Each structure stands twice: as C-alpha cells, then as structure tokens.
Chains A and B, each alone.
Chain A
Amino acid sequence: MTTDTLKKTPLYNWHAANGGRMVDFTGWSMPVQYTSIIDEHNATRNSVGLFDVSHMARFRFDGAEALPFIDGLVTRKVADLKPGRIRYGLVCKEDGGILDDVLTYHLQDVAGQSYTWMVVNAGNREKIAAWINDRLPEGVTFTDHTEQTAMIAVQGPRAMALAQEIVEGDLNELKYYQGREATILSHPGLVSRTGYTGEDGVELTVPAEVAFATWEALHVAAAEVGGHAVGLGARDTLRLEAAMPLYGHELSEEITPLQAGLGFAMSWDHEFIGKSALEAIDQDSLPVRVGLVMQDRRVPREHYPLFSGDQQVGEVTSGSQSPTLGAPIAMGYVAPQFAADGTLLDVDVRGKRHAAKVVPLPFYKRK
C-alpha cells in the first residue's frame, strides 16, 4: 500500500511537521514515535502524554431501541446504562469468537435526548459496521462519525489538569468510565474518562476542523509540565504494562473472552450473540492469557513459541522491553496447566531458548 492511499487523521500534518515517524497502521498513516518510545512512555507515566486516536472508529446510534439493540450485540449488559456511563464489552460471533472489543456510551444531548456512542478499533471499523447494518432494527439509525471528528487521548498524572484548561465544566465531576457532551475550546465535543495506558485521563472528541487547535493548545500546555506527544510505539508499551489486550494480538475471532481473562466484561444475565456457544464451551481446557517476565535481556515478540521442556505449550502475543520495569515482558497464551504464577517456561527467541516466568497481570498498576 502506498502512502497516498492511507487514510489521514485531521492531525496528520502536525505529526509530519513535528518529527512523527509515520507508518501504516490498519490503513491509516499514524506516528509510531516522535522522539523516542522510552521518552514518550515515561512522559505519560510521570506527567502527561497526548495521543492522536482519531483512527479509532466512532459510531452513533439514535432511536429509543438503540441501547437494547446493542445490548444484544455485546457481552456486557448495556441496556441499563445510565446516561453519562460507559461500558467496555466484546462483540462476539455466534461461535463465541471475539469480533472486537468496544466501548458503549449512553450520552445525552443538550436537549436531554439520549443517544448511544460506540468506539471501535480502527482495524475492525468496516467489519463491525457491516455486523451492525446487517442486524439494524427499524427505528434505530446508525451513523459513522469517524472522519468528521478527531479523538485525542490525554493520559497521565497531569492529564486531568491539562484537559481542564480547555474543557468547560468541572472535570472532577466526571468519574472513571463516564462521558458527556462538552464545550471544548468553545466548540461542541465529547469528553470521556477512559484510557488505554494504565493512567488516569480523558479522551476529547472534537469536530475535525478544530482538531489542530485543540491538539496545539494541549501540546503547548503539556510541554510546560514535561508532557509529550506519544506515538503508537509507546502506546503499545504502556498498554502492555497495563496488560490491556489489543485486538489482533490478544484478541481475535479464534479467542473467547474467558480465555482472554475478560470475565469482568461478561454479563450472563442478558442475551447476546455468542452467549449459548460460550456457555457450552469447556473453558477449562483452552489456552489462557498470561503475563511473562524474561529472566534475561532478550525481548519476547509476537508469535515467538513458548516451551515447557521439549513441549510447545503456547505462543507470545505481545512483547516488549518494559520501560517502567526495565525488563522484557510479554503476554501470551499457554495451555492451562502451565498458566500458574511462578511457572518457568522457555521462549524460543529466533532459535534459542530463553527462560521466562509466568507472573500475575498487570505488570504495572498506578499508585
């Protein structure tokens, strides 16, 4: 794919002009880093990081039956979501495999009218849109707002104070996993308090035409407190330390939610696609997601095989040097009898075995 055919976020020109090393990420030209993955990672842990997450898909549903409709598509019950609440859940196929992990928001406009918002992984946008359109009931309208808006994640210990400088209304009243419409730099937008780094923070969704001004205002203020623009490289090390699964790595159509350790994202007291298959599967025999810390300096990478003695017992799904721990870490799937904390396994690093220990997840939890 040539760069000309890649989709660009409204902040593309900023990234290109500010040292962003642009790569193809699921069809979008995105910055992998500006200066250094470690610098950007540490800025987010210690101060604040700014992430252009405009490539993620943003869907809106209107109509009184919108939430009950989505309730039937996601593993987590959302029909009872109060206005202003957000819930993480999985969209599964009939056989229980994961189509995507999504956030469902129950929002209200200024007139008090309810609507539903959904944030979907960039690489799954077309797949999930088709899944929805094939099932859309009468009276529910579905619109894709991805390209008319930009989404900026502000994450880290200084994130809330930074966002407060440009968002009207007290952000302290916004609790974790809540969202609302907001006036951002005098423009209508959304603010939501979720994140993908293990830090506190918010995402700001703004019209595409004010994305640059919003980002620039945040960037100037962030620079004063040691904050940084953060690319996909550090986004990956941050979420890996926080043990958040990434679609295409820890999650796929061949993985069930319980294997992935996402039992918290399941509510069995409602009907959803895939439920009966998931109830019928003998989960205890399936490989499960574990955390691994290397016992030497070799970095485990995706698809490296995991061994116990001569027996292959699993595979790495994500691995990197952890900037916070100063050690190489990974997530992977292993047969359940090798998943206990403290189990010693070998990672095949390009033909050589290197010891790794199974450890509890997450690797990093903020104090």
Chain B
Amino acid sequence: MSTDNLLFAKTHEWVKVEESDGAKIATVGISAHAIEALNDLVYLELPEVGKEVTAGESFGEIESVKAVSDIYAPVTGEVIEANTALPDNLDSLHEDAYINGWIAKIKISDDTALADLMDKAGYEKMCAEEG
C-alpha cells in the first residue's frame, strides 16, 4: 500500500480516511517508526467495538518487553471494527504496519481533529528531529 495518502498523529498513529455511504471512516494503526522503536512486542489491547473515542485520548495499549504505551485515538467517533487477528500476530506489525497492521476503524463524528494530523513528509521530519 502506498503510504503517501496516510495522515499521522504526533503520538505515532497512522490514519487512512475513506468515505463510505456519506460517512468518513478512519482506519487507524501504529506507524512503522513507532513499531521499530517499540521493538519486542508482547501484547496489544484493542478498543471495543461500539466505544465512543475522543481524539487525543487513549483507546488501546501496546506492550513491548521494555514498557507499555498508550495508543491514542487520532480522531473522534465510534469504533466500528477492531482487528481481532492482530493481538495474536504482533510480529506481523514489523512486516507491514500499514496493511494487516491496522488496529481499528473509527466512524468519524467530528472531523476537526483531522486538521491536527501531519502528512507523511511532516511526520518523517518530526521523527528525524526526535532522533
């Protein structure tokens, strides 16, 4: 998948926004940069389907050998699908963070938070500056 049309949050989630029946659906995952930094993944807690999430708030957790990290909702809306195959296949995140590595789909109820997301070039610049 081309990553050119993805958006990224400062907290390292990626977002792909698609229109479906007049609604905006955001597919959300964790960036390859963050997966590489987390490295030895051991646990992922998915958000529950039906949960209302708010942009910037934790809606899942990912755990490596070293530490546990929150996954932050990059948009506001309702979780309509979670990738239930992913927690048992965390290694696949290292191979493709952007296709099978999606975590949840969120039906966007308020799209103002989209303006806070970066394009790929902006995100890569931020990662380079973080070192």
**Which A residues are within 8 Å of any B CB, using their own CB?**
32-33, 36-38, 233, 237, 297-299, 301, 320-321, 323, 328, 350
Contact check, B43 vs A298: say whether CB atoms are below 8 A apart. Answer: yes
Assess the B65–A321 pair: CB atoms within 8 A: yes
The answer to whether A297 touches B39, judged by C-beta atoms less than 8 angstroms apart, is: no
Q: 6 nearest interchain CB pairs?
A: A321-B42, A37-B65, A38-B40, A321-B65, A37-B40, A297-B43
- Taking CB atoms, residues of chain B closer than 8 Å to A299 are 42-43, 63, 65, 68
Question: How many Å from the CB of B39 to the closest CB on chain A?
Answer: 6
Instruction: Tell me whether A33 and B39 are in contact (CB under 8 A).
Output: yes
B residues with CB within 8 A of A:
39-40, 42-43, 61, 63, 65-68
Seed contacts A298-B63, A299-B42, A299-B68; 19 additional CB < 8 Å A-B pairs: A32-B66, A36-B39, A36-B40, A37-B65, A38-B40, A38-B65, A233-B65, A237-B65, A297-B42, A297-B43, A298-B43, A299-B65, A301-B67, A320-B65, A321-B42, A321-B63, A323-B65, A350-B61, A350-B68
**Closest approach, in angstroms, between the C-beta of A345 and any C-beta of chain B?**
19
- A237: which B residues are within 8 A, CB to CB? 65
Main secondary structure of the interface of A (DSSP, over half): mixed
Shortest Cβ distance from residue A16 to the other chain B in the assembled complex, whole angstroms:
12
Residue of A nearest to B70 (CB): A350
Task: Give the distance in Å from the alpha carbon of A237 to the alpha carbon of B64 in the complex.
Answer: 12
> How distant is the Cα of A268 from the Cα of B62 in the complex, in angstroms?
48
Q: Considering the chains assembled together, what is the distance between the CA atoms of A301 and B43 in angstroms?
A: 14
Chain B's nearest CB lies how many Å from the CB of A215?
23
| Closest Cβ–Cβ distance, residue A279 to chain B (whole Å) | 41
List the B side residues contacting A233 at CB < 8 Å.
65-66
Using CB atoms, name the residue of chain B closest to A32.
Answer: B66
CB-based nearest A residue for B66: A233
User: Given the complex of chains A and B, what is the CA–CA distance between A33 and B66 in angstroms?
Assistant: 10
* Cα–Cα, bound, A37→B67 (Å): 12
Report B66 CB to chain A, min CB distance, Å.
Answer: 6
Q: A233 — nearest CB in chain B belongs to which residue? A: B66
User: What's the A-B contact tally at a CB cutoff of 8 Å?
Assistant: 34
Task: Tell me the complex Cα distance, A321–B68, Å.
Answer: 11
- State whether A37 touches B66 (Cβ < 8 A): yes
Q: How far is the CA of A301 from the CA of B61 in the complex (A)?
A: 14
Kindly state the separation between the CA atoms of A299 and B44 in the bound complex, as whole angstroms. 11
Max chain B CB contacts within 10 Å: which of A32, A36, A237, A297? A297
Chain B hits for A36, CB < 8 A: 39-40
A33 nearest in chain B by CB position = B39
**A322 vs chain B, min Cβ distance (A):** 9
Complex: how many Å from CA A81 to CA B64? 43
7 contacts between A and B (CB under 8 A): A37-B66, A233-B65, A299-B42, A299-B43, A321-B40, A321-B63, A321-B65
Q: Tell me the bound Cα distance from A328 to B61 in angstroms.
A: 16
Smallest CB-CB separation from A297: which chain B residue?
B43
B37: shortest Cβ distance to chain A, in Å? Answer: 9
The docked-state distance in angstroms from the alpha carbon of A320 to that of B67 is 8
* Chain A residues near B43 (CB-CB < 8 A): 297-299
For B61, the chain A residues whose CB sits under 8 A away are 350
Bound Cα distance A147, B42 (Å): 38
Q: Which residue of B lies closest to A320 (CB)?
A: B65
Q: Is the CB of B42 within 8 A of A37?
A: no
- Nearest-CB distance from A239 to chain B (Å)? 14
| Distance of A299 Cα from B65 Cα, bound (Å) | 8
Contacts of B63 in A (CB 8 A): 298-299, 321
How far, in angstroms, from A313 to B66 measured CA to CA in the complex?
A: 25
Q: Measured between alpha carbons, how far is A33 from B65 in the docked complex, in Å?
A: 12
A298 to B43, CA, bound (A): 7
Q: How far is the CA of A36 from the CA of B64 in the complex (A)?
A: 11
How long is the Cα–Cα vector from A38 to B40 in the complex, in angstroms? 7
Chain B residues with CB under 8 Å of A32's CB are 66
CB distance from A231 to the nearest CB of B (A): 10
Measured between beta carbons, the chain A residues less than 8 angstroms from B40 are: 36-38, 321
Docked pose: A38 CA to B66 CA in angstroms: 10
Chain B residues with CB under 8 Å of A323's CB are: 65
Q: How far is the CB of B32 from chain A (nearest CB, A)?
A: 16
Please tell me if the beta carbons of A37 and B68 are within 8 angstroms of each other in the complex. no
**How close is A298's CB to chain B, nearest CB, in angstroms?**
6
Q: How far is the CB of A302 from chain B (nearest CB, A)?
A: 11
B39, B66, B68 pick with most chain A CB within 10 angstroms: B66
**Chain A residues within 8 Å of B42, by CB:** 297, 299, 321, 328
Expressed in whole angstroms, the Cα–Cα distance for A237 and B65 within the complex equals 9
Cα distance A233–B42 when bound, in Å?
15
Q: Which residues of A contact B65 (CB under 8 A)?
A: 37-38, 233, 237, 299, 320-321, 323
